[in-house]
């Protein structure tokens, strides 16, 4: 066998090895597919392990959310979704629950309809602990937030509670005059009596309550409550301080 034949045989052998070891794997792998497993509701570490076994790569998404009812670092969403068909080595982006509660500044809810205020608070993850209804005489205040227990721009954590005071116009019975009950708290009995008369009301029952901190005859509480509606001539009961 001459030299040219030997060279040709060697080159052919090299070509076969290159095709077998390099070109064929590249060609065949180009048609391979992987099925994305479901890794939601498990820890990020476990999701990373499962995706690795499926020849996929876990990537923690910057779109991190916080769900108070879910443990920290649990996968709450994934892209692509489970059962998707992708190429091997594809990144699977995982949204995990935050390990710390996010904080934010409370918005000003004053003047907003109650339902709108509730929706805003729900989006922020806040709990409405209570809604107090206060009588109002202006139609523009009816059904709207008059005040909030946490002032605007105060920084709180997700899950914090807040209470609201909402205005409500009460229907005035036919033939009867309606008045707004004045604030008597902190006044003396004589001052309170004068204010009651000026507003078309009458002084009702006076109850005494012992107090070492307040000046005797200082109004501690009243009924009906401040800013509620009463009928003209209705009695206003008071509790006042005494040192006896």
End residue of a domain, out of 137, 168, 199? 168
Q: Is residue 23 part of a domain?
A: no
Q: Are residues 36 and 95 in the same domain?
A: yes
End residue of a domain, out of 168, 190, 224? 168
Q: Is residue 45 part of a domain?
A: yes
Q: Is residue 13 part of a domain?
A: no
Q: Are residues 82 and 115 in the same domain?
A: no
Among 33, 34, 118, 42, smallest CA distance to 74 is for 42
Q: Is residue 20 part of a domain?
A: no
Q: Are residues 189 and 151 in the same domain?
A: no
Q: How confident is the model at residue 10 (pLDDT cuts 50, 70, 90)?
A: low
Higher pLDDT, 84 or 173: 84
The answer to pTM > 0.85 is no
Residue 85 sits in a domain whose CATH number is: 3.30.10.20
Q: How confident is the model at residue 24 (pLDDT cuts 50, 70, 90)?
A: very low
Is 189 a residue whose pLDDT tops 80? yes
Is 53 a residue whose pLDDT tops 90? yes
Confidence at residue 28, expressed as pLDDT on a 0 to 100 scale: 44
Expressed as residue numbers, the domain containing 233 is 178-242
Is the omega angle on the peptide bond into residue 171 within 30 degrees of 0, that is, cis? no
Mean pLDDT of 109-119: 94
Confidence at residue 124, expressed as pLDDT on a 0 to 100 scale: 86
Mean pLDDT, the chain, as a whole number? Answer: 84
Q: Is residue 89 part of a domain?
A: yes
* Separation in Å, CA 182 to CA 171, 199, 226: 19, 8, 6
Provide Rg for the chain, Cα atoms.
37
**What is the number of structural domains in the chain?**
3
């Amino acid at each position: 066998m001459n030299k040219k034949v030997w060279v040709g045989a060697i080159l052919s052998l090299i070509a076969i090895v290159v095709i077998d070891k390099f070109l064929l794997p590249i060609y065949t792998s180009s048609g391979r597919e992987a099925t994305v497993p479901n890794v939601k509701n498990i820890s990020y570490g476990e999701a990373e392990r499962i995706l690795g076994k499926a020849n996929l790569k876990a990537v923690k998404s910057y779109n991190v959310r916080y769900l108070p009812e879910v443990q920290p670092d649990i996968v709450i969403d994934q892209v692509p979704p489970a059962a998707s068909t992708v190429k091997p080595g594809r990144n699977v982006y995982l949204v995990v629950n935050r390990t710390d509660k996010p904080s934010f500044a409370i918005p000003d809810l004053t003047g907003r309809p109650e339902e709108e205020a509730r929706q805003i608070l729900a989006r922020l993850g806040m709990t409405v602990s209570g809604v107090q209804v206060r009588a109002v005489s202006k139609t523009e205040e009816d059904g709207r937030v008059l005040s909030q227990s946490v002032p605007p721009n105060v920084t709180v954590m997700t899950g914090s509670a807040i209470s609201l005071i909402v205005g409500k116009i009460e229907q005035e019975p036919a033939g009867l005059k309606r008045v707004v009950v004045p604030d008597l708290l902190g006044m003396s009995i004589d001052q309170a009596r004068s204010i009651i008369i000026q507003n078309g009301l009458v002084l009702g029952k006076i109850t005494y309550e012992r107090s070492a901190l307040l000046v005797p005859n200082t109004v501690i509480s009243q009924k009906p409550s401040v800013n509620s509606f009463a009928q003209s001539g209705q009695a206003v009961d008071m509790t006042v301080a005494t040192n006896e």
